[in-house]
A = this chain, B = another copy of it.
Amino acid sequence: MLPLTGYSVSADRPAAIQIVERLRNAIVRLELPPGQMLSESDLAESFGVSRTPVREALIKLAQQGFIEVRPQRGTFITKIRPKELLEARFIREAIETAAIERIVGRLDSAATRACEATLKDQRAAAAAKDIYAFHLADDAFHSTLAQATGFERLSGMIEGEKALMDRVRILSLKTMPPFKRLISQHKAILDAVVAGDRQAALTQMRGHLRELLTTLPQASHDYPQYFTEKIDPGSDWAETHSGASL
């Protein structure tokens, strides 16, 4: 029933951690569809462990917003909530622009090379039409920039907010992947940061983050069962709910 059957966890690491990783991956990639019910017993059987580590994994995922536990009823993959996505974008914009402010013109050579490497990975993934590899490289770009601030938890926070948005990204990437556009946006951000052009770097980052959700109305129209509410593609929904205006 579940697309996880047959893959047991390995014994060299705590089972709960492995289960978190696997489930989170499956959720973000929509292999476990939003709204899907999860049974602790079934999961335990799938992973070849008891319910205990499964429960601990579910607690962590619930705290990250990927699942919802309804006592005595069941555990469910959270549906995509458009309002939550706008909030994630708001938070990312606040944090990532603040990070830009901090690193613009100060990126050392190691960090610069690391960012360039993610661009290279993205180009390779785009050429191979591998949306998951593309996704990983996209994660890496934003994480690398965040780590350059010297703060340790920043990249984790960004990844968390990012993951909430990624399900929509996957939906849109399936139909029309704007690989080149995203890569050039990343490159523009990096170039501005390296060049020390604060204003350009901020503008590029904002534009990049704001564009991520433009496909949301279309996605919610194509896959209504994955969303908590429907959005009229013709409306200016994202704008009226965004940070620009209240």
Contacts and interface: CB of A to CB of B under 8 A. Distances in A.
A93 interface: yes
Interface string A68-112: 000100000000000110110011011101100111001000000
A50 to B, nearest CB: 12
Interface in A1-56: 14, 55-56
Contact of A91 (B65, B86, B157): B157
A133 interface: no
A150 interface: yes
A182 interface: no
How many subunits of this chain does the assembly comprise?
A: 2
A60 interface: yes
Given A56-B55, A63-B60, A153 B94 contact: no
A152 interface: yes
Contacts of A246: 102-103, 106, 150
A165 B88 CA distance: 23
Question: Which of A97, A151, A154 has the largest number of chain B CB atoms within 10 A?
Answer: A151
A154 B91 contact: yes
Closest 3 CB pairs of A and B: A94-B98, A87-B151, A94-B94
Given A56-B59, A94-B94, A94-B97, 7 more contacts: A55-B56, A60-B63, A84-B152, A87-B152, A91-B153, A91-B157, A101-B243
